[in-house]
Amino acid sequence: MKGWSAMAQTIDGALKVAAKKCGIEVDAYLAMRESGLKHCWKCKQWKAINDFSLDRSRFDGYAAGCKPCTRVQHKKERKLSRPSIRHGNRASEAVRQAIKKGVLQRPEERSCTECGNSARHYHHHLGYSDEHLLDVVPMCVGCHQKVHWDG
Ligand SMILES: [Zn+2]
Ligand SMILES: [Zn+2]
Ligand SMILES: [Zn+2]
C-alpha cells in the first residue's frame, strides 16, 4: 500500500493501540499492513484487507472487524429488532384507529404523564402485546424518546 508509511506518522497513536490489540509491536503491525493484511478484533485473525469493508470513521479507513464477523453481528441485530418493530407498528395502528373512532382522545388534547407539558404521542407503557394494544399513556416527544432510549 503506497503512502501508508507516511500516513502512519500522523496516526501513530491509533497505530500503537491497534498493534497492542493484536499483541504485537507497531513495526510488526506495519509490516503486516504493508503486506495487505489487517487484524480482525472479533475473530482475532489476520485477513486480507479486501475482507474488511471501508469505514471512513476509522483511522485507517477500514472497519475494525472483517466482513464475515460484522455480517454475523448485523444478522443478530436484525433478528432482535424486527419483531418488536412489527408489534410496535401494529400497536400504533390500533391507537390510530381508536383515536379515529373516538375511543381515545388525540394525544394533543392531553398532557404528558411525565412532565405535564402537552402530549404529542401515546406510549405503550405495558408493551406491545395483543392485550395491551390500547394500554397507552400520553407523552410529549422528549419524555417519550427518553423512555425508549434510556430504558
Ligand atoms: Zn473477523
Ligand atoms: Zn413530557
Ligand atoms: Zn412508546
pLDDT tens digits for range 60-88 = 899 999 999 988 665 555 555 444 556 67
Ligand 2 center from residue 131 Cα (angstroms): 25
| The amino acid at 24 | I
In this structure, which residues have their CB less than 5 angstroms from ion ligand 2?
112, 114-115, 140, 143
Which residue positions in the chain have pLDDT lower than 70? Answer: 1-11, 72-87, 150-151
- CB neighbours of 131 closer than 8 A, spacing ≥ 6? none
Q: How far is CA 67 from CA 19, 38, 117, in A?
A: 20, 12, 47
Ligand 1 center from residue 44 Cα (angstroms): 6
Ligand 1 center from residue 73 Cα (angstroms): 11
Residue/partner pairs of 115-124 with CB below 8 Å, 24 or more apart: 115/140, 115/142, 115/143, 120/144, 122/92, 122/95, 123/147, 124/88, 124/91
In this structure, which residues have their CB less than 5 angstroms from ion ligand 3?
123
Cα 30 to Cα 91: distance, rounded to the nearest angstrom = 54
Specify the pLDDT at position 13: 85
Specify the pLDDT at position 5: 58
Give ∠ CA 31-35-38 in degrees, rounded to 5: 80
What residue spans define the domains of the chain? 4-63, 70-150
With CA atoms as reference, report the closest residue to 53 among 44, 61, 45. 61
Cα 124 to Cα 105: distance, rounded to the nearest angstrom = 15
Specify the pLDDT at position 7: 55
Ligand nearest the Cα atom of residue 148: 3
Is 98 strand, coil or helix?
helix
Q: pTM here? A: 0.44
Specify the pLDDT at position 3: 57
Ligand nearest the Cα atom of residue 144: 3
Specify the pLDDT at position 83: 46
